[in-house]
């Protein structure tokens, strides 16, 4: 019968080798740029809207953009933030918020 501690040590050595391999691979992966700019077509792909809709948003100043001469550019991070700003809360999130506020009111009434 093989020593169970020897088996554990072998497995730990295997795990350590895998972790070192993964860390080496992660070091070689290019990190994305923090500032990614795109044109109308790229922005259209990011937010799944037509280019004409994006042109309309630009003319109405509804979407964050940068004008470089005649070119209109979009910062992907700003576009994603803009999209998420319109996110509506789910029913469970609303219920949680209401429950929290009700508990707060009950606590303040109990103190009074």
- pLDDT higher than 90, residue 109: no
- pLDDT higher than 70, residue 25: yes
CA dist list (Å): 83 to 49, 54, 106: 12, 13, 36
pLDDT number for residue 33: 59
For residues 50 and 108, give the distance between their C-alpha atoms in angstroms, rounded to a whole number: 51
Residue 87 Cα to chain centre, angstroms: 13
DSSP string of 11-26?
HHHHHHHHHHHHHHHH
Domain locations in the chain as residue ranges: 1-31, 34-112
For residues 106 and 45, give the distance between their C-alpha atoms in angstroms, rounded to a whole number: 48
Fold for 34-112, please state it: Arc Repressor Mutant, subunit A (1.10.10)
pLDDT tens sequence across 34-58: 678 999 999 999 999 999 999 999 9
Q: Say what the pTM is.
A: 0.51
């Amino acid at each position: 019968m093989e020593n169970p501690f020897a088996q554990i040590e072998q497995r730990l050595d295997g795990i350590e080798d895998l972790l070192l391999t993964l860390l080496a691979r992660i070091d070689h992966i290019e990190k994305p740029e923090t500032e990614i700019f795109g044109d109308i077509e790229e922005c259209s792909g990011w937010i799944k809207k037509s280019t004409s809709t994006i042109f309309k948003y630009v003319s109405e100043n509804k979407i964050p953009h940068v004008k470089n001469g005649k070119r209109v550019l979009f910062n992907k991070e700003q576009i994603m933030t803009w999209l998420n700003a319109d996110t509506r809360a789910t029913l469970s999130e609303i219920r949680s918020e209401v429950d929290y506020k009700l508990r707060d009111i009950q606590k303040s009434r109990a103190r009074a």
